Structure 1
Amino acid sequence: MKKTEAYTVSIGVLAVVDTWLTGTIFPVPVWVTFIAWASFFVLGGGRAGFVKSVASNLTGLVIASLTLLCIATTSGGAIAVAVLVGIGSAAMVQASRIKLLDVLPAIVWGFASTVGTTVATGKAITTAGIGNPALVAAAALVTGAVFGFVSEVVGEALQFRREHRLG
């Protein structure tokens, strides 16, 4: 099977599994798993891409969580929120100076996924326990990276490779 077809089957089947899993027994936002899945491939795939993707996405998550915690301690006025988001954005750029985190968009995807999960769940970042949106987003980000890794392994295994024999 050619690479495109192999990855079509691998990713298509695993997207079914991911969507079913997150819609039934592991209630994390499927869109966050897909973002992290894409992040895995953008960062080169393989073990290195997995590590870099998870580290970058979770760095964005931590920066978003700190930003949201700071917002929670203010009156919530638009200017205060805007300034705090600006500080969080600047922190993401500074974090990208670290070699492991040098693909800034992957950090931003973690930040955005965390904010989006907070909005989608309707739960504040200060929520205690397993329903905390940062924990939910973290679980989804790592799950997405795992799906990326598995889809790559399966996609590679499904490829037909011709052996060239000499003479």
Structure 2
Amino acid sequence: MKPYIGVGLSVGVLAGIWTQVSTQTGLITWVAFVAWACFFAAGGGALGFKKGLAANLSGVIYGWLISLLITVADFPGVLAVGIALAALAMCLQAGWAPLSFIPGAFAGTAVFFGTKLSFWPTVIALVIGAGLGWLSAVLGDRTQALISKPLVVPPSDDENRPVQTA
């Protein structure tokens, strides 16, 4: 059996549950999916959770700093300058292991802007998404182990009888 059936089932079920819960509670559905994808892209497991989420949250901070810059500075190209400096910083921070997942930082900044600068709702959805990534990986591994177990066939009575020779 393909090794992706377990994770596919767990992701599918959790994605449906998350969509229903988030739309009913006003949480930002799509932002969690970005963090969920970053979890897997960063390698999954504890390391993927830490690197993906830390990078996502750093990206939100960069986005927030850019939004502050454009409110205090008033010159043509201020947004471009802010983005350029943040992009440079997101790449340079990768020299520090906890923030070494560059795509996660860019994703964090993008979702912050995509939510129209909604800081806390973005952060909450990113944390939930990273948690859903971890949960889907754990449940996926367990499900895959269950469906991949070889079928154990009990020995038949013929195998337990002594062999007769003539």
TM-score class normalised by the smaller sequence? 0.7 to 0.9
The whole-number CA distance in structure 2 between the counterparts of 1:162 and 1:22 is 35
| Counterpart in the other structure of 1:23 | 23
Letter in 2 for 1:14: L
| Counterpart in the other structure of 1:111 | 109
The whole-number CA distance in structure 1 between the counterparts of 2:87 and 2:14 is 33
Displacement, 1:89? 1.2
Give the counterpart of 1:161 among 148, 160, 166: 148
Where do 5+ consecutive residues of structure 2 fail to align? Answer: 153-166
| Counterpart in the other structure of 2:161 | none
- Asked if 2 retains the 8 angstrom alpha-carbon contact of 1:3 and 1:155, the reply is no
The whole-number CA distance in structure 2 between the counterparts of 1:74 and 1:28 is 32
1:74 aligns with 2:73: yes
| Counterpart in the other structure of 1:121 | none
| Counterpart in the other structure of 1:38 | 37
| Counterpart in the other structure of 1:138 | 123
The whole-number CA distance in structure 2 between the counterparts of 1:51 and 1:145 is 9
Displacement, 1:161? 3.4
The whole-number CA distance in structure 1 between the counterparts of 2:47 and 2:20 is 28
The whole-number CA distance in structure 1 between the counterparts of 2:11 and 2:149 is 23
- Asked if 1 retains the 8 angstrom alpha-carbon contact of 2:52 and 2:101, the reply is no
Q: Secondary structure at the match of 2:77?
A: helix
Provide the aligned C-alpha RMSD in A. 1.8
- Structure 1 residue runs of 4 or more that deviate by more than 6 Å after TM superposition: none
Displacement, 1:48? 1.5
Displacement, 1:78? 4.6
**What is the percentage of aligned positions where both structures have the same residue?**
33
Q: Secondary structure at the match of 1:3?
A: coil
- Match runs of 1:75-114 below 5 Å: 75=74, 78-114=76-112
Larger Rg: 2
My pick for the range that moved more, 3-12 or 13-22, is 3-12
When the two structures are superposed, what TM-score results if normalisation uses the length of structure 1? 0.83
The whole-number CA distance in structure 2 between the counterparts of 1:62 and 1:111 is 8
Where do 5+ consecutive residues of structure 1 fail to align? Answer: 119-124, 126-132
Q: Secondary structure at the match of 1:28?
A: coil
Aligned pairs, number: 150
Letter in 2 for 1:138: V
Letter in 1 for 2:85: I
